[in-house]
Structures are given as C-alpha cells and as structure tokens.
Amino acid sequence: MSMRELINQALEALRTAGADRAQCWVTRSEKTELALEAGVVEGMFTTFNTGVTLTALVGNRKGTQTVNQIADIPKAAAEAVEQAKGAQEDDANDIAAVEDGTDTYNDGPEQCDRDAMYDRLDQFLRDVKNRLPLIRITDGGCEFQSVHSAVANTNGVYLSSRQGQYGCGFTFSAGNEDESGSMNYTFAEFRDLNRPFRECGGTGMTMEQSVRELGVSPLGEKFTGDVILAPLALSHMLEYFCDCYLAGGSLIAGTSLLKDKLGQRVAGENVTVVSNPSDPDLCGVRLTPDGFRAHDMTVIGNGILKSFLLSQYSANKTGHERSANYGDHLSLLPGDTPYEGLLAGVKRGLLVGRFSGGVPNDKGDFSGVAKNSFLIENGKIVRPVRETMIAGNLLEAFNNIASISAETISTGRRKNPWVRVSGIGISG
C-alpha cells in the first residue's frame, strides 16, 4: 500500500469513528546498523518499522493514538475519538493549515551500501588502533536509516518527506595500565560515505583530546573565571536555554523569565542562534511534528530575541506566533576569533569538553561536572582536571559570552563553535 493510500485510509477511519477534524502521520523506516562492542564489530542489525499516529478532534477536544500494525488502524481511530470525547474543550487544539510551497522533500540515498559502510567502519577502527592506541572504544558503530514520512489532515494538507542518511557514533575513553580515562562520545549524521569517520562530528579531534586527558588530577581550588565551552557542551547549554526560557512548556506554565522579552535584548550582541533545516551541512528535518513545513529561523539575532520555540498548540495557547520550526537544529553562529585566540584570552579558567549536570531550574541556575576538561592559565592549557564542577545561570552566561570561535563542529544535526564565557563558578 502506498503512503498516500495508507494515510487516506487512516483519515477515513478517524472520520468514520466520529472525528470532526483529523490528522495522521505515517512513517515507514528501515535501518541497517553495524554495532561495536569493546572496539570490535560484533553485530549487524536490520530493522523495519511502521508508525501511524492518529489525532482526532471532537469539537476542540483532542485524543491521539499511535500504532504500528495497519490492521489496528480502525480500532486506534475509534480509541482516539473516545479519548477526545473524554478530554476537555480547549480552543488551542487545532490541525495544520494548508500552506503554499513544496509538498514533497526527498533527500539522501535510498539504499544502504552495506559493504562500503562496513569498510568505512573497519578503516576507522584500524586508524584509531594505529594512530591512537590508548583509545578504547566502549560501544557505538554506524548505521544507515531510510525514513519515509507523510502527514495529512482533513484541512487538505498532504506533506511527505523521504530521508536517507548514514550516521556514526562512538563512546570511548583513553586508558593505560595505570589509569582509566574519562568517557566521551561523538556522533554525526551525513548523506554519503565520502569522508572518513574520524572527520565526522569532530571524532578524531575529540579522541586525541581524550588521550591528553590521561594524568588527570583534581583542580583543588575554587574560583570564578572564564570557561571555554566546546561545541558539544555549548549544544547542551543551548538546549537548556531554550527549554528553560523559550519552549512552549515554560511559556504556558508562565515560568519563563523571557516570556515578555520578544524583540528585546536577552543575550550578548555577539550571540545569534538559528535553527536552519535547509543548511546544507545538516541533515535537516523538513516537517514539524504537528504537520507544517519546517522553515529556517533565527531564534536570537545579535542578542535580540526574535522567536520563541512554539508549536501550533503552544502558539495558540500563549498568543504568540507559531515558530518556523521547533529547534531541531539549534546552532550558535560562529564568530571571527580563531580557537587559539579564544584560549589566549583566558587568564585563568577551564576548557570544558562536556557538561554533565543537573537539569537547570526554572530560573536557569545550573551546576554540574566539567567532564573531559582542562585547566587554562595565561592562555595555555596547563593540565587535565577531574571532579571539577562549574555553576552559573544560563541567562547570565549567554550575556557573558566574551568571544566566539570561527571554527565549528557539525554533527549533521547541529553546528556549533567554541565560546568563551566569563564569570562562571569553578570548584574542585
């Protein structure tokens, strides 16, 4: 059965069950994965799946059911309608409206090149063994995934996307007879197998850094200083920032400290945050979960808040505009300072490879362990540190970004630079 036939069948089932308005998502996926354990390819997996999500609106009451057996669609449609009938009226519930533009997105290869994928992984493992013999890969591997999705509703919307992409990800640490180093990880998504895996998602660079982490010792002091956040750590901080201040949940709850700050300064002038699915360096997600095209967007432009991250429901609820996408590709635009220049600007502080912290509270206060990190003194990396914590506030941190590197790392999902943040509490 074609995607169009399947989704029409699901919509009809919802109408028959009594939905006044209905929307369906259908996804068909196939994944081939080569899995590592302790640095050896030990498994090959091929998985197929189908997903059908049925949303029923009865008046303005909403219910949603997801199934993966086509035969279950009529029953699930009836249950979605029953769920909606038990819910409360909410004017914010709606289904996607018809927009002008492309209906179908087609991106990436259709088929997995199994032999080429194996060869890339094998080459990577040999490369690591030869160049970085102290690196121990705990797990990870590579995969090819082909996902065909479509959304349709009773407003007449029909959008589809087919995406084929490869990916690799590795969890690793450095170690020798005397020491087990700290774990780190990298991951990346890409459309072809043209590049060695060590060049994807900063994998080679991060592994080299792990080797330099051996001989780690506690910081042994407490001070307030500068922190250079590596792209992975920055990516986590950006996610926290958006969850805390810009996402629908915090706006509906009324807890966001930025709820009244649209169009106003919320970060340093050097800070521009975008989420651009059309960026050719990224494997962009082209449809939103609630049935719209995902367009490029600026979230913060030169420090000014340009957009919240709001779905149709959250936008209706809060009275703001629905955002052009919901932040799948949050990236802070690079600056013009070379990475070495960033380091040179730090009198005393930390290079933080990864942040392992508690979820920040509603205010945006954060504290956590600076993992895979190094002490910096007078612009030079002095030594690796362990058991070192950093603490601060997200809003203050994004207003205290002193400089931004020109270099970035792309994971295929996000593309971020290194940033130097002042005024962070450091203790260990």
Partner 1 sequence: MTPEALAAALNGISDYAELRVQTNSSLSMRMLNGNLTANAASTSGGVSARVCAGSWGFSSAPDQTAESVQAVIKTARDNAVFLGSRGGGIQINKCGAADISVPRKEKKRASAAEKLDFIRALDAYIVGKYPSLLSRHVILSGLNMEKTLATSTGTRSHTFLPRSVVLLMMSAEGADGTPVDLMMPPYGGFGEYEDVFSDPAVIFKHIDELYETLMKKREGIRPEGGVKTCVLAPDLAGILAHEAIGHTVEYDLVRGGSISGKLFNQTVASEKISIVDFAHTAFGKQCPVPVYADDEGVEARDAVLINKGVLTGYMHNRRTAKEFGTEPLGNARAFAFSDEPLIRMRNTCILPGTDKLEDMIASVEDGYYLSRSTNGQADLTGEFMFGVGLGFEIRNGKLGRALTDTTVSGVAFDMLKTVTMVSDDLIWEMGTCGKKQMMSVSMGGPAVKCEIMVGGQ
- Binding partner 1 (rule: CB under 8 A), the pick from 118, 211, 296, 301 is 118
- Taking CB under 8 A as the criterion, which residues in 8-67 touch partner 1? 34-35, 37-51, 53, 62-67
Residue with Cβ nearer partner 1 (26 or 342) = 26
Residue with Cβ nearer partner 1 (43 or 338) = 43
Please answer whether residues 65 and 145 qualify as being in contact, where contact means their C-beta atoms are separated by less than 8 angstroms: no
Please answer whether residues 283 and 107 qualify as being in contact, where contact means their C-beta atoms are separated by less than 8 angstroms: yes
Q: C-beta of 338: minimal distance to partner 1 in Å?
A: 31
Residue with Cβ nearer partner 1 (65 or 165) = 65
Contact letters for partner 1, residues 345-364 (x by CB under 8 A): -----------xxxxxxxx-
Residue with Cβ nearer partner 1 (253 or 382) = 253
The stretch near partner 1 (CB under 8 A) out of 131-139, 186-194, 265-273, 296-304 is 131-139
Residue with Cβ nearer partner 1 (80 or 333) = 80
310/321 Cα distance (integer angstroms): 7
Q: C-beta of 339: minimal distance to partner 1 in Å?
A: 26
27/167 Cα distance (integer angstroms): 19
- Taking CB under 8 A as the criterion, which residues in 261-290 touch partner 1? none
Q: C-beta of 133: minimal distance to partner 1 in Å?
A: 13
Residue with Cβ nearer partner 1 (165 or 173) = 173
- Taking CB under 8 A as the criterion, which residues in 369-388 touch partner 1? 369, 371, 386-387
| Separation of CA 250 from chain center | 19
Contact letters for partner 1, residues 172-201 (x by CB under 8 A): -x-x----xxxx------------------
Q: Which of 35, 74, 83, 36 is nearest to 52 (CA)?
A: 74
Contact flag: residue 368 with partner 1 (CB under 8 A):
yes
> Which H or E run contains 16?
helix 3-17
How does DSSP assign 199-255, residue by residue? Answer: GSTTHHHHHHHHHHTTT-EE---EEEEEEEEPHHHHHHHHHHHIIIIIBHHHHHHT-
156/135 Cα distance (integer angstroms): 54
- Taking CB under 8 A as the criterion, which residues in 291-330 touch partner 1? 313, 317
Q: C-beta of 22: minimal distance to partner 1 in Å?
A: 15
Q: C-beta of 282: minimal distance to partner 1 in Å?
A: 24
Please answer whether residues 72 and 49 qualify as being in contact, where contact means their C-beta atoms are separated by less than 8 angstroms: no
46/114 Cα distance (integer angstroms): 11
267/297 Cα distance (integer angstroms): 17
Max Cα–Cα distance, the chain, nearest Å = 71
Contacts of 319 (CB under 8 A, 6+ apart): none
- Taking CB under 8 A as the criterion, which residues in 77-116 touch partner 1? 79, 82-88, 90, 92, 114
Contact letters for partner 1, residues 247-266 (x by CB under 8 A): --x--xxxx-x---------
